[in-house]
Chain A
């Protein structure tokens, strides 16, 4: 009888712990950063005054050798500030990153030439050669971009980072 009671209270206790855990993870999940991404191309259009201007239009198809602009938007939909925010963006194998094009307010850009294993400034990264040595990495070696935000993202705050790439 005593044993049965003990077992019952242990099970009840376990149930409460599982419930609390579920509630707390739901609360953590609510502290969220949301990402969205758009791709644009620049086209020359003639405005109402007859002047030519460059406009960014969304892309659904593109020709080889054309330049594309990727804009990544982040937004803190939670109710607490988000810290140590890092946005990683692998470059598609059909694209070549355009040098110096990675930008973003309060963002510092690092690049990877080994598929995202190591990030750093392009100037210090090296590529192993078949002869067992290595050579300085070039823009065309870049495989991944990493934007590190210098500031916290406050609740409901949003911002963008962007880069350009050329279709091979």
Chain B
């Protein structure tokens, strides 16, 4: 196997591992909007005779989206001449949760 081919293989598997890792980050925690349902069922007897099992209406709740923002200015201070318009200050907003 040539040296170049080995490098290509390394890059290929490296990319796959990276993608798997990224997916792992997204898979952390149940997705927001998921409905989580719970149902219990009771079985019992009356006078020694088994009765039809009884369930209740399912209890559900929705998974909420957690937002924890950090805001950081991009670059250092911006010099603006007096009277000028449309000057830009850039920020990045990141949801860290």
Task: Report which of B38, B52, B59, B64 forms a contact with A29, defined as CB distance below 8 A.
Answer: B52
Question: Closest approach, in angstroms, between the C-beta of B67 and any C-beta of chain A?
Answer: 10
Is A95 touching B45 in the complex (CB atoms < 8 A)? no
Q: Which among A63, A72, A83 is the interface contact of B44 at CB below 8 angstroms?
A: A83
Number of interface residues of B (CB under 8 A): 31
- Is A65 part of the contact surface with B, judged by Cβ < 8 Å? yes
CB-contact partner of B46 in A31, A87, A95, under 8 A: A31
Judged by a CB distance under 8 angstroms, whether B5 is at the interface is no
Shortest beta-carbon distance, A163 to chain B, in Å? 10
Q: How many angstroms from the CA of A88 to the CA of B41 in the assembled complex? A: 5
Partner of B54, one of A32, A39, A65, A90: A32
Residues of A within 8 A of B59 (CB): 37-39, 70
Binding-face segment, A1-9, A42-50, A54-62, A119-127: A54-62
B44 touches A60 (CB 8 A): no
Q: A37-B59, A88-B40 are in contact. List 10 more A-B contacts (CB 8 A).
A: A31-B51, A36-B56, A60-B61, A62-B61, A63-B66, A70-B59, A88-B43, A89-B39, A94-B36, A94-B63
